[in-house]
Amino acid sequence: MSTVALVTWLGWACYAGAAGTLVAYLVQVLGRQGWRRPWNAAGLVFTSVALSQTPFLFDEAMYGRGLGTAMIVTFCLLASAIVQAYTALRPRRRGEDTEGAKAAGAQGQDA
């Protein structure tokens, strides 16, 4: 695969990842959490913005020595988007979020 084709595919992967993370955030805020805790999944928004800007790195890096670095950044951002979307959208048992907080509070009181 040529460098130009690789850069093109990675650019489209970045845009797809950016769109996917925004959709995951909207599902999280509008459906699961409501507007009670909109910052819980805010990392998805920031990752989406970073992914949407990453293809511009390739324009500069393709003709210099920074292509490898730009590719590493892209893969890390895509992995971050996948992990954050999974943790935001994973199924939870009813009351799972509050049980952990109660257990942590009880341990602190015992000490």
Indicate the domain borders of the chain: 3-90
Calculate what percentage of the chain has a pLDDT beyond 90. Answer: 5
Cβ–Cβ < 8 Å for 44, 81: yes
Least confident of 20-24, 41-45, 74-78, 107-111: 107-111
pLDDT at 97 over 90: no
| pLDDT tens digits along 10-50 | 889 989 988 998 888 888 888 766 666 666 677 888 888 88
Total-model pTM: 0.62
What pLDDT was estimated at residue 16? 93
| DSSP annotation of 37 | -
Cβ–Cβ < 8 Å for 88, 44: yes
What pLDDT was estimated at residue 53? 83
Q: Give the mean model confidence (pLDDT) for residues 50-68.
A: 78
What pLDDT was estimated at residue 21? 87
Q: Which two tokens stand for residue 1?
A: 């695969």
| DSSP annotation of 92 | -
What pLDDT was estimated at residue 106? 57
